[in-house]
Amino acid sequence: MVEVLTLSKQEISGLLTMKEALTSVEEAYRAFGEGKAINPLAISFVVPRYYGEVDIKPAYIETIDCSGMKFAGGYWDNPKNYGLPSVIGIILLVDGKNGLPLAIMDGTQVGSYRTSAAGGVGAKYLARKDSENAAVIGTGNQGRMQLMALTEVFDIKLVKAYDLDLEGSKRYAEEMGRTYGIEVASAESARKAVKGADIIVTATPATSPVVQDAWIEPGTNINAIGADMPGKQELDPLIFRRAKAVVDYLPQCVEIGEIQHAVARGLLKEADVVEIGEIIAGKKKGRTSEDEITVFDSTGLGIQDVATAYAVYKLAMKRNVGKIIEFF
């Protein structure tokens, strides 16, 4: 008989902190950079009939001896048709030594934290250490979570936010300003939002450039979070002619990440792209000067899900949270 822990979104919310997520994601990247993790390319497909998409992301991490897989669906008419969230995910954790299941848990909450933690880790290694002004393009849930991560890593003092839904960006400014006790302003355009920003976060479903090359000032770091499917695009590809391109996983980003467009147009060579794990592991350099422009292309990896979910699993076992079900 095998006992498997199950954890709901509410139970995970009571366990997982941004600090824990940042640590887990950074260590997952480090393991990948040191060759101690296996991360097959994500399997993604669109379900046109129901305006949805499905992503399957497996991974194994040697340093925690754990395998796992996240199965996530993005069905954009769910709120309207069924009163359900647009994104629903589940994570399966497996003992790396023998393949026995350890836990089954909600993947939506874990995914939200690990995605934002990726942005925080990317900025930690690529943004200027004195960064204090941020721009957030896209003020949905991930725009909120990305700011949470940045405030854990930097002493953020000013945030300018922009969204196509201007009322939404106003609500964001009010809520985030109140939550973090910092100045958060709603910008009338993406251009006004990024002006003077040390760190720019793009977290949108855009399929054409939202941020233009001419707007980017020397020394800026951009965290491109939204592009995770063929055709998605948030940045003017010309940015990559003068920016250092850092990705979570090169083969995946070339296919579905922000760099797909710059590579396709010959504006960026794959040989010039660096993986964040290589930087964290000390194999490659991150930011090399105060004036350097850096872009972190984060498409989301299975190792992030496995590492963060494993941290949740360990906390749950320690605090006796969750329900046990029996298999076999």
- What CATH number did the domain enclosing 187 receive? 3.40.50.720
pLDDT of the residue at 99: 94
104 and 226 both lie in a single domain: no
Q: Map residue 133 onto helix, strand or coil.
A: strand
Q: Map residue 161 onto helix, strand or coil.
A: strand
136 and 221 both lie in a single domain: yes
CB 168 within 8 A of CB 139: yes
- Rounded to an integer, the average pLDDT of 156-172 is 96
Give this prediction's pTM.
Answer: 0.94
14 and 154 both lie in a single domain: no
175 and 244 both lie in a single domain: yes
100 and 141 both lie in a single domain: no
313: in domain: yes
Amino acid at 266: G
116: in domain: no
146 and 59 both lie in a single domain: no
| Residue with tokens 């721009």, as numbered in its chain | 135
119: in domain: no
9 and 67 both lie in a single domain: yes
pLDDT of the residue at 297: 98
Domain count of the fold of the chain: 2
100 and 18 both lie in a single domain: yes
Give the domain extent around 290: 127-300
User: In this prediction, what percent of the chain has a pLDDT beyond 90?
Assistant: 91
231 and 149 both lie in a single domain: yes
pLDDT of the residue at 321: 97
315 and 284 both lie in a single domain: no
What's the start-to-end Cα distance of the chain, in Å? 6
pLDDT over threshold 90, residue 85 = no
Residue 48: CATH number of its domain = 3.30.1780.10
pLDDT over threshold 90, residue 79 = no
Catalytic residue positions, numbered:
70
- Cα 57 from Cα 286, distance rounded (Å): 26
Report which secondary-structure segment, H or E, holds 10. helix 9-13
107 and 154 both lie in a single domain: no
Lowest mean pLDDT among 39-53, 127-141, 143-157, 269-283: 39-53
